[in-house]
Structure 1
């Protein structure tokens, strides 16, 4: 039964500029009202979008992308790098945090895809698959009173460009038992050859209304009728997209079931003066919390382990895995 008290909106961006679309996404998150759910639909032209804590140069062939007229963007959420072009459609559920329900949100996407004659399911930590191959990657971001869940839908994406611009670590590929990034993804058009972006848009809107209520009427937005300059400037800035790539005195690197991690530490007089953790872990805030907790500590593994152990989190597996890994590292120092 539908919850008649939920207020819904469908918003569609007519812009293909990733910096605008991500700025709009954050603006909508900032403006979300109690008991409200927004279904936001958007597309980017030739873009690599990296997770909040990822190293741009490690995940993307940045020079090649920009020389070809593409753009690099960084989102708020964790997770890995993805390629967007106009053969891909993005969705975001933006909502009052009390309404966050991953199963319900995924049902909107899965039902929309199934209504077009394609069998799909949720797989792994954040993928939607068909015929055993990924057509959608999902990521998540939470604040105190609001949240979002966003993802991609590969319909007719240029997989040659995807392979050309993304640099996926050999460890990540090996952990999934595959030979290349292109071998594990699929376009939905390969399963339904007459499928169009517009068909998917209409199917998604209808599925959203079937599950959340409201109407399929969409609010169309672009840069000409929506002024979010401050947020746009943030997403377009070098500092946000690339950040610093400092030289670290010590670098530790490993891959876990929940994601990869590269920890860089700078030292002075035996103390940690800066700490940076690059990761595609979904919990972007926890990764940042771990890094900031290390600053000022003596470079003593017992002190580091004690500090990490006492971090309050709902993801204890990440803390335990990092503790065990660093403890093993300490034996090699």
Structure 2
């Protein structure tokens, strides 16, 4: 049974001609935002399409989580949203390994090559697995929630690839990693060279393919969530590495999931058979259309979804479908969404979910990779090793002295003062105090020093702050 009708900004009724000469009228009901919790969980709401009017990734991911938990087990849901600039890591990823934390959140970062400026880029950890991605106003995020028994890893990526083909990206295809790529011939690749961003190392198996969409998944007992990015027209396409390339990566050996780096491109630069210029809205409508085809939801839900008033949160509903615009209103009206929002913004969720890892400036039996040479401004025998789990330091050893006995004292002292510290809570001032007390052991003696103590403390503090994003 539908909730009470109020005046609609969409069509209140649509007439369908049957085989008789009489018209059949079906009512489309428009509902206020306060009806969200009730209408999405209605057992007859088999087909649901939503767009977000919020650009806050914490809001959108919290609404997405609520849709996964509350929509009927046999329903199919499409949720589309565009986030403000942010880096989003998977549930089981390491932010110190996957992101340049120093370039995020509190810092203003200029992107000179693209001529744009990205300010206050957020760091976000999501509930699903998968790799790290960068979102901005040129990236469309799609989320499909469906019964688990019909879910496959390529089902919805292929849906989006078909939508991209319809708008002119005829080379869009799904590769063996379940990503959407633009397969290219050498001539086409040369044309797009200036409109692509390359993430090293090159690991895309399709020759010269440009990744435009990556996916992540979350499975519950009866439901499946597949959400993905779609690089449509990102102004930061050439500069993703400024945020996704961690300066600590060469020194970290980690458990958990690591991202696979691939060359990326914009869909807007890959349209080869379109008489119309690229349009974000045209892409959204194409994805809605393919979703409706895939799940047989009919024209009503698609048509009303395409006519949503994107200035406020409201919903249109039919006998077995819902289409609506969502955003901050749901955050304030629904406690479960508010709770998820607060949890996702907490530093505990952002950092204390991190699997065990070791940061080491020298080769070990566990991690025999060669390390980059340490900066020349550090003492030549500087050695740093920090092992952490869920953001808590378990073991640490920092030494700078060329005297073995003093180096052992420094390592022991560093272990004592760093053990059980929460890594992301150590700010620049705290690092300086820690390093000062460690280096001071070497300078308590009377031997002549190659560098003034203050200089060593400054440089080692700078090195650690850069690597740990302080």
TM-score normalised to the size of structure 2? 0.48
Deviations 1:177-212 (A, max 9, x none): xxx95x710101111292121111111111111111
1:93 to 117, 134, 144: 144
Please state whether the residue corresponding to 1:141 is helix, strand or coil.
strand
Change (3 A) 1:249 1:36: same
- Per-residue deviation at 1:224? 2.0
- Per-residue deviation at 1:59? 1.0
Aligned counterparts of 1:223 and 1:89: Cα–Cα separation in 2: 19
- Per-residue deviation at 1:101? 3.2
8 Å Cα contact 2:154/2:178 also seen in 1: no
C-alpha root-mean-square deviation of aligned residues, in Å?
Answer: 3.1
Please state whether the residue corresponding to 2:241 is helix, strand or coil.
helix
Instruction: Name the residue aligned to 2:172.
Output: 120
5+ residue gaps, structure 2: 1-43, 109-119, 185-208, 252-259, 306-323, 370-386, 396-419, 421-470
Instruction: Name the residue aligned to 2:55.
Output: 16
Aligned counterparts of 2:293 and 2:148: Cα–Cα separation in 1: 21
8 Å Cα contact 2:164/2:286 also seen in 1: yes
Please state whether the residue corresponding to 1:185 is helix, strand or coil.
strand
Instruction: Name the residue aligned to 2:104.
Output: 65
- Per-residue deviation at 1:247? 7.9
- The alignment of Structure 1 onto Structure 2 pairs a total of residues equal to 248
Q: 1:43-62 residue pairs with structure 2 within 5 A?
A: 43-62=82-101
TM-score normalised to the size of structure 1? 0.67
- Per-residue deviation at 1:104? 3.0
Change (3 A) 1:191 1:253: same
Aligned counterparts of 1:116 and 1:9: Cα–Cα separation in 2: 23
Instruction: Name the residue aligned to 1:238.
Output: 347
5+ residue gaps, structure 1: 172-179, 256-262, 268-273, 275-333
Matched, 1:129 2:207: no
Deviations 1:187-246 (A, max 9, x none): 011112921211111111111111112221331001024432101001111111122778
Aligned counterparts of 2:283 and 2:210: Cα–Cα separation in 1: 19
Matched, 1:108 2:159: yes
Change (3 A) 1:80 1:103: closer
Aligned counterparts of 2:357 and 2:181: Cα–Cα separation in 1: 39
Q: 1:158-177 residue pairs with structure 2 within 5 A?
A: 158-167=236-245
Please state whether the residue corresponding to 1:19 is helix, strand or coil.
helix
Please state whether the residue corresponding to 1:144 is helix, strand or coil.
coil
8 Å Cα contact 2:158/2:174 also seen in 1: no
1:213 to 289, 296, 302: 296
Aligned counterparts of 1:145 and 1:82: Cα–Cα separation in 2: 27
Aligned counterparts of 1:247 and 1:101: Cα–Cα separation in 2: 32
Aligned counterparts of 2:134 and 2:368: Cα–Cα separation in 1: 24
